[in-house]
Amino acid sequence: MSKLTLLKNWFKNHKGTVTAFSGGVDSSLVLYVSNLVLGDQAIGLISNSESLKSKDYEIATNFCKKHNIQLKVIKTEELSDPNYTSNPANRCFFCKTHLYEAMIDIIQEEYPNHTILNGTNLDDLGDYRPGLEAAKNHHIKSPLAELKITKKEVIEMANELGLETAAKPPSPCLSSRIPYGTTVNKERLQQIEKAEYILNQYGFLNVRVRHLKEVASIEVPVNEIEDLKNKFNKISKEIKKLGFNKVTMDKEGFVSGKLNRVLNG
């Protein structure tokens, strides 16, 4: 039996589901397949908070419109929580706690027979992800992880189903660009989002701008570093206008989760 068939069968045991949706390939697969099986009893929920890129919000809302999936939009208030804004190593735990508590409130009021889901896949279980603890605390179901579906299999299934998110680069929350211990605030999040948008305009789609207080550190894939060097002066001038004193280029190139290295030292 294929993993996709297993996933479809998983939903047959549920009356309805509400999927924590980010617009990424994992949660879009969960949401899409839940909709295939459960129809209008499959609902997506997204928090349009400051830490979510506006482009990712647009991708998520367009996805649901295209596939006729009901999407509920809320706004969590993690920026009012000092446990989150102080930016500890387990920052994600507090963010996800806000999200899941809001989802539970909505479920109890509007969808009492529904199950709350997320897009955690099998590979995620091997990473440092404090948000997984928040999911466990709130009894959130992870069908991909339960069925031992890997990231590679998620992308294969998304391609098989013709989902436009199959080729979408990972896009973790904007706060992940700020080193642990440096305060997360609206101004810094906006600076990061605008800086990455500038890079997108110059043709760099899979980018990270690390917010090192006065310094913006740009990461692009290794094979795009030469192109970045050629455009760096123009890009640097534009990013400095956002309030950075200095713009640097990370010569190692783009590495997902680079700021987590301090946790292993």
Catalytic positions, written as ranges:
173
129 contacts 96 by C-beta, under 8 angstroms: no
247 contacts 218 by C-beta, under 8 angstroms: yes
Sheet of strand 246-249: strand arrangement:
208-212, 215-219, 246-249
What residue type is assigned to position 45 of the chain? L
What residue type is assigned to position 263 of the chain? L
Question: Cα-flanking dihedrals φ and ψ of residue 96, to 5°?
Answer: -65, -30
